[in-house]
Chain A
Amino acid sequence: MEADALHDLTAAYALNALDAEDAGRYEAHLARCQRCQSELAELSESASALAYAADAPRPSPELRSRILEQARSERPNVVPLRPRWLRPVIAAAAVAACAAIGLGLWASSLSGKLDRTEADLARQQRVAQILAQPGSHKIAFSRGTLVVGADGKGALLLNQLAEPGSGRTYEAWVADGGAPQPAGLFSGGTTVAVPLDQPVRAGATVLVTEEKAGGTEAPSRAPFLIVRNTAQS
């Protein structure tokens, strides 16, 4: 089909009104046609506005839980996600170390960087002290683990975290019934261990944002990670 004829399919594509064959051809064309991309963005917005013209009774309350349950069952342990998370590349040595210590994230961070600085080592020691406490809690989430010691000291262990943008840093926060308090700056890595500078009591929430280098006093943008300490104190 000629390019002009393909351009002409944009409105029908926005309305999902192409048969599978035409839709496939149009998508192949769309990938390399900027004009169609911007035209499709506009026409799709109009098309989806039509959704609001339909009457909107409530679906059964079970639908919500069905969707969330299904999503949970599909959540993979290691997913390549852009742009924040790196694609998983797990060295055999790291896997072995994980198995040995039983907490994969921390273990592979030990075998990670060669240019480890003293500051890094100090951070890892702080994390190790929390991990070593009897009765420390681990709260697993999709990309890592929040560890909280019996004394309320906490650490985030993050897996496959891409470096922050240039001139930027990650900043951890702890919110415990009030405004989030700064709890440490860090960068990315295959595995990252972040001792938190604020206590993480039961019910407190740990957040992570990307901020300008040097960090800020209050989060300036939406957190990309939110974990609540659900452990019972």
Chain B
Amino acid sequence: MRGMSETPRLMTRTFAHLSDEAVVAMLARSDESALAELYDRFGRVAYGLALRILRDERLAEDAVQEGFLAAWRNADRFIPERGKASTWLLTLVHRRAVDLVRREDRRRAEPLTDGVDAPSSGSAEDDAWLRFERERVQSALKQLPDQQREALELAYYGGFTQSELAERLGEPVGTIKSRMFTGLARLRELLADPRPGEAAWKPTPYTT
């Protein structure tokens, strides 16, 4: 009989109040429920990312699975001082997707808007939130100079290395590096505006 494999009501409520970082801390204690919670929070975004890169549902699911299992195995290496848990997790999934796309040689370089365009079919709340985030990031991307946006998209969604990009675009590697750096730094500023309704997490007293 297992005490941890179910999701009792109290646990659901408790987790709902936990920050992503607190959930990863529980993951580091090999708590399966923490893994389930992380998947419920980020599984869909992670899959969307992997699908954008790999353009194949089976490979995308493989990348998501490997990314989440890497998080499961290495949660004790997560250092909250060095970044958000969501960044850490999405970086792991991204790395698996990029490794796979390079191995399978499936890389293509089409603009983001030509990506997989599946109709979303989730809960209204999920959909609204994801649509909001998507529009926010896409609008920030659109504000970047073309060359910076191109470098970021080809690297992040295309899986090209900086050397491959330099060759492809006929530019010195130094130019590519600088476009990536400036693009990411500018994106950070554009995204820095606080989101409406978002408050910092703090411990929440039990309400029952």
Contacts and interface: CB of A to CB of B under 8 A. Distances in A.
B98 to A, nearest CB: 5
Contacts of B90: 48, 51
A213 interface: no
Contact of A57 (B48, B95, B188, B205): B48
Interface in B25-75: 25-26, 28-33, 35-36, 39-40, 43-49, 51-52, 57, 60-61, 64-65, 68-69, 72-73
B86 A42 contact: no
Contacts of B137: 49-50, 52-53
A205 B11 contact: yes
B169 interface: no
Contacts of A218: 205-206
A227 B128 CA distance: 34
B91 interface: yes
Interface string B156-167: 110111110100
Interface stretch (A80-88, A89-97, A163-171): A80-88
A140 B2 contact: yes
Given A45-B87, A218-B205, A222-B22, A59 B60 contact: yes
A74 B73 contact: yes
14 contacts: A11-B183, A46-B185, A47-B184, A50-B187, A51-B46, A57-B121, A59-B57, A63-B61, A70-B69, A82-B76, A140-B1, A142-B31, A223-B14, A231-B1
Interface of B: 1-6, 8, 10-11, 14, 18, 22, 25-26, 28-33, 35-36, 39-40, 43-49, 51-52, 57, 60-61, 64-65, 68-69, 72-73, 76, 82-84, 86-87, 90-91, 93-95, 98, 112, 115-122, 130, 133-134, 136-138, 140-141, 152, 155-157, 159-163, 165, 174, 176-177, 180-181, 183-185, 187-188, 191, 203, 205-206, 208
Given A52-B130, A205-B11, A228-B6, 17 more contacts: A12-B161, A17-B180, A19-B163, A43-B188, A51-B93, A52-B134, A52-B137, A54-B134, A57-B121, A59-B44, A137-B1, A219-B203, A219-B206, A222-B14, A223-B14, A226-B11, A228-B10
